[in-house]
Structure 1
Amino acid sequence: MTNKTILQLENGVLFLLALSLYIKLGFPILYFFIFLLLPDVSMVGYISNPAIGAKIYNLGHNLVFPVLLTFIYLFSQTPLLLAIAIVWSAHIFMDRTMGYGLKYSDEFKHTHIQNL
C-alpha cells in the first residue's frame, strides 16, 4: 500500500468521523450537505492567476481555521462555531480522500498529495 493510499484512507475515515460527530451532536444533516462544498469558494483566486489562486485556495483548505473555530467554540460555547468547524474539516477530509490537496502555485491540478 502506498503512502498516498494510506493518506486517502485516513482522510476517508476522518470524513466519516466528522459526519458521525455532526449527526451525534444533533446538528441538521441537511445543512451539512448544503455547506459541505462552501470552502470551494476559495477557488475564486484562480480568476486572477495560479499563484494567487493557490494561496487563497490553501487558506480555505488547511485545518488551521477549523481547529481555531473549535477552540473558540470551547470558550464561547457557541454551537454554530462547532458546526462550521466540523463541516469545514469534513470538506478538507473529503477532498484529500479524493486525492485533492493543497495547491502549488504553478497550476490548479498540482497538489501535495500527487507528490506522495
Structure 2
Amino acid sequence: MTAPAVAGPPRLLLRLEGTALLILATGAFSRMGLSWWLYAVLFFSPDLSFAGYLAGPKVGAVVYNAAHTLLGPAILLGIGLALNSPIFLGLAAIWAAHIGFDRMLGYGLKYATAFSDTHLGRIGRNRAGA
C-alpha cells in the first residue's frame, strides 16, 4: 500500500515554503550575533532522530516527526523572545532552517509504514512522483 502524499502544485508550494523558511531562518540567525560554527555544527542535528528507526518504523516515524515539525523551533522561539535570549533564538533559527532545507529537497514528515513514505511523496530508490 502506498502512503498518501501531496502532489502537483500543492507539493511545489510546500517545497517553495521550505525554501523560504531556510532563507528566512538563516537570515534571522545571521542577526543573532552567534558563531557560524554553531550553525554548521547543529544544522543537521535534527537528523539524529533517524536513530528512532532502530526501534522500528512506527517509533522511528514518531521520533523523526517530533524533530522535523515546527513545534520545537516555535517553542524555542517563544522562550528566546520571553527571555530575550539570542542563544534560544539562534537555536530556533537553526532548527527551522534545517526543516526548511528538508522540505525544499522534498523530505517530508514520515508515515509509520516505512522511512521512505513521507507526506511529500516517497523518497529513495523506489520513489514515485518525488
- Bin the TM-score by the shorter chain: over 0.9
- What residue number does 1:61 align with? 68
Is 1:21 the counterpart of 2:36 in the alignment?
A: no
* Number of residue equivalences: 116
Which residue, 41, 44, 57 being the options, matches 2:51? 44
Sequence identity (%): 35
Q: Select between 34-43 and 76-85 the one with higher mean Cα deviation.
A: 76-85
Which amino acid letter does the alignment assign opposite residue 91 of structure 2?
A: I
Task: Show structure 2 runs of 5+ residues with no match.
Answer: 1-7, 123-128
Larger strand percent: 2
Moved over 6 A (4+): none
Which residue, 76, 79, 85 being the options, matches 2:86? 79
SS in 2 for 1:86: helix
Which residue, 75, 82, 91 being the options, matches 2:98? 91
Larger helix percent: 1
Which amino acid letter does the alignment assign opposite residue 96 of structure 2?
A: S
TM-score between both structures, scaled by the size of structure 2: 0.83
